[in-house]
Amino acid sequence: MSRPVIVTFLLIAAALTCGFTPQLKHPSAFEVLAPDQFLVTQSTGELILIHNDRQEKVRNVPPVAWHLRLASCSSP
Amino acid sequence: MFVTVGDRGDAARAQDLSNHQGKIIRIRADGSGSEIWSYGHRNPQGLVFDTHGRLWEHEHGPWGGDEVNLIKRGINYGWPLATYGIDYSGIPFPNNDPKRFEQPIYYWPSGQSLAPGSLVAETLGDMTRLWIGTRIVTQIVLVLDIKDGHVVREHRRWQGELGLIRDLALHDGWLYILSDYPPAIHKKRP
């Protein structure tokens, strides 16, 4: 296989498996809010919002949170 | 809300309905109490409803015997009286009779410890596809295609590429995979 063909193949492969590496510390569970927007718990006891390649701490959570699911609710 | 509780190393308590160990518990959202939904579980790890309202679970067996179960109300899933695994000493459990109890939809026999850790269900026509992330040794995404209550295909993907898999999610045609060692969010075409 020629070099241009290999490079093209690698670029296509990278595009198909695209991901990014946020600065997380032992993530344990997540919820996908929208394409490439996430809520993530990590075992340091934080809930992290990742949005537009930025991340911010939302609040503290129990340090071993293995599952995370959003629920809607209404208040009177 | 449904919650899984492992046997916490005391296997006999999974058959004892006076406690919550080795059980799947339903907790009423209005705070009015809870009930044991099913019992006889060893170490449940994944729990998910599919679009038909069926509740799927997977759990760790001892040495081998990891299971995928379709959870039904009030049913005994057999642990520790029934398992397709063996003790870590290599000795089969005495009086083990897996056929006496509700059968898993799928299990991995002795010698295969996959340690399933996360679970997502997808409905594809008359087929249910379960996506299972494994945690410890194998670090793969398992795909089980289930039709008429039987697994018709097991497929293993991205073996060794993703690190230790913590959680999975399907969204907008993509499979998102949360991993640790190294920490990352992977986005894959299912």
The ipTM, to two decimals, is: 0.83
Residue A28 lies in a domain: yes
User: Cβ contact (<8 Å) for B176 and A32?
Assistant: yes
Which chain A residues are closer than 8 Å to B167 by Cβ? 27-30, 67-68
Query: Hey, what domains does chain B have and what are their CATH numbers?
Result: 1-45+64-110 (no CATH), 114-190 (2.40.10)
Comparison of pLDDT for B98 and B147, the residue scoring more: B147
- CA–CA gap between residue B95 and residue A60 (Å, rounded): 47
User: Cβ contact (<8 Å) for A22 and B187?
Assistant: no
Residue A13 lies in a domain: no
State pLDDT tens for residues B136-190.
666 899 999 999 999 999 999 998 889 889 999 999 999 999 999 889 999 999 8
- Full domain range(s) for residue A63: 21-69
Contacts 24+ apart (CB under 8 A), B87-93: B87/B62, B87/B63, B88/B62, B88/B63, B90/B63, B93/B62
Q: Is the pTM of this model over 0.80?
A: yes
**Confidence at A23, pLDDT banded by 50, 70, 90:** confident
Whether B172 and chain A come into contact, CB under 8 Å, resolves to yes
**Radius of gyration of chain A measured on its C-alpha atoms:** 17
State pLDDT tens for residues B36-77.
999 999 999 999 999 999 999 999 999 999 999 999 999 999
Question: Residue A5 has what pLDDT?
Answer: 60
Q: Are strands B184-188 and B174-180 parallel, antiparallel or unpaired?
A: antiparallel
Residue A56 lies in a domain: yes
For A62, phi then psi, to 5°, come to -55, 145
Residue A31 lies in a domain: yes
Whether A50 and chain B come into contact, CB under 8 Å, resolves to yes
- CA–CA gap between residue B186 and residue B176 (Å, rounded): 6
Q: Out of B166, B167, B187, whose CB is closest to A18?
A: B187
**Element of type H or E holding A14:** helix A3-16
Number of domains chain A is built from: 1
Q: Out of B178, B182, B189, whose CB is closest to A30?
A: B178
Comparison of pLDDT for A60 and B185, the residue scoring more: B185
- CA–CA gap between residue B129 and residue B152 (Å, rounded): 10
